Amino acid sequence: MAEKLREQIKSGALPSGSRVPSVVTLTREYGIAQATAQKVLVALRREGLIKTTPGMGSFVI
């Protein structure tokens, strides 16, 4: 899952400033557990690919 989002960011399919799917959206669309979806977003944040603003969501840097 993280690999797919990472590739979308690097290819420009998710351009800078675009919203990254929420944990709820990731669980629904990909059939993964919420804990897994949270780990995906944490990994992308650690890599410096996204930034999360509480109450607003996660966005591509």
Any idea of the CA torsion for 52, 42, 32, 8, to the nearest 10 degrees? 70
Q: What domains, with CATH codes, occur in the chain?
A: 2-60 (1.10.10.10)
pLDDT tens, 3-46?
A: 999 999 999 999 999 999 999 999 999 999 999 999 999 999 99
Radius of gyration of the chain, Cα coordinates, nearest whole angstrom: 11
DSSP 1-53: -HHHHHHHHHHTSS-TTPEEPPHHHHHHHH---HHHHHHHHHHHHHTTSEEEE
Q: What is the pTM of this model?
A: 0.91
Inter-residue contact 6 to 45 (CB < 8 Å)? no
